[in-house]
Copies of this chain bind each other. A is one copy, B any other.
Amino acid sequence: MGESFPMTGGDGPHSYTKNSSLQRAAAASAKSMLTSGILENLVVEHSSKMFAVADLGCSTGPNTFIAMDNMIEAVTQKCEIKGYCSLPEFQVYFNDHVSNDFNILFANLPPDRKYFAFGVPGSFHGGLFPKASLNIIYSAFALHWLSRAPQELGDVNSPACNKGRIYYSNAPHEVGQAYSLQFAKDMESFLAARAEELAPGGLMIILMPGRPDGTLPSQNSLGPFIKPLESCLTDMVDEEIIRNHEIDSFNMPLYSPSMEELRKLIEKNGCFGIARLETLPPMSVPLPSVEACRSGFESILRKHFRSEIIEQLFERYPAKIAGKPPIKASDGFTIGLFVILKRNI
């Protein structure tokens, strides 16, 4: 089932809870697309007594709570437009890896929520729910996490060997290709599982980082975001604090597909029709602060590198981002993709 790299839990300074404003801003910019997408495409029956929404890869909040409120608001609006005199009872299923900090997620649940709240531990690359049990499946900034980094990246005999780097930006074409293949496998297992779980008339809504059509993987990626971290690690290799083989065998399991690539994978799977496949409004974003970097990557770094280098690594980090301007798509950064899928009958 691949590996699990949770966002940092708790509510301390390095927690995802305190360091997810970028994801929040991107989701906020998608709100009107989400609302109109639901109003246009969702089929909701007069007789529906329950309405189940799942957030796959929800982390610890608060972003997921904002998204779920937006979703329920849009479904409510749809029911009102249809003239239904009563609303269904909403159920929200919050999913993430078993190692996600569900205790913090639950402690942060909005007390005035208009839904029954459930936690669902497990990888979304496998089945998580009974057949046809979900009316909306939502996933925001989670599908770019691969189930694992492609194994050939660490194989010195492979043309996809990613020596001295931790990512595919600035890497030979074969490295990006290996990432792309792993994404295709993960997306297929994701779509196959969701096709079982989505109820008739329901929607799957995906927000994720991607790249413009006609670009190579290395041209627009999360690379600019990861570069300061990579640079700290390579400095530590030069200073012989980290051994060569340690960095050679470490690769960030993140990938940003092009719209075309995503479209082909959805068509190949064959269970879903594409109702929308659009880009989010362009954003310029600051390089991640040391807190944000720890929130996203400390768990995966600790798993691979010796614990004793972690504090040193993050001590070096602030100098790498000091004074650097925000990044945007023209710097080789990702663009935001917005997808709405319907189940083919």
Contacts and interface: CB of A to CB of B under 8 A. Distances in A.
Interface stretch (A124-132, A172-180, A237-245): A124-132
Contacts of A49: 130-131
A133 interface: yes
Number of copies of chain A assembled together? 2
Interface residues of A, number: 26
A102 interface: yes
Interface string A99-143: 101110011010000001111111000011111010000000000
A1 to B, nearest CB: 10
B116 A119 contact: no
B118 A120 contact: yes
Given A102-B106, A103-B102, A109-B98, A121 B117 contact: yes
Interface string A76-110: 00000000000001010100001101110011010
Interface in A25-70: 49-50
B119 A89 contact: no
B119 A121 contact: yes
A106 B121 CA distance: 6
A133 B103 contact: no
Nearest to A119: B119
Contacts of A98: 106-107, 109
A120 B49 CA distance: 20
Given A98-B106, A116-B129, 20 more contacts: A49-B131, A50-B133, A89-B131, A91-B130, A98-B107, A98-B109, A99-B107, A102-B102, A102-B103, A102-B106, A103-B103, A106-B119, A106-B121, A116-B130, A117-B120, A117-B122, A118-B120, A119-B119, A119-B120, A119-B121
22 contacts: A49-B130, A49-B131, A50-B133, A89-B130, A89-B131, A91-B130, A93-B118, A101-B103, A102-B102, A102-B106, A103-B103, A106-B119, A106-B121, A116-B120, A116-B128, A116-B129, A116-B130, A117-B121, A118-B118, A118-B119, A118-B120, A119-B119
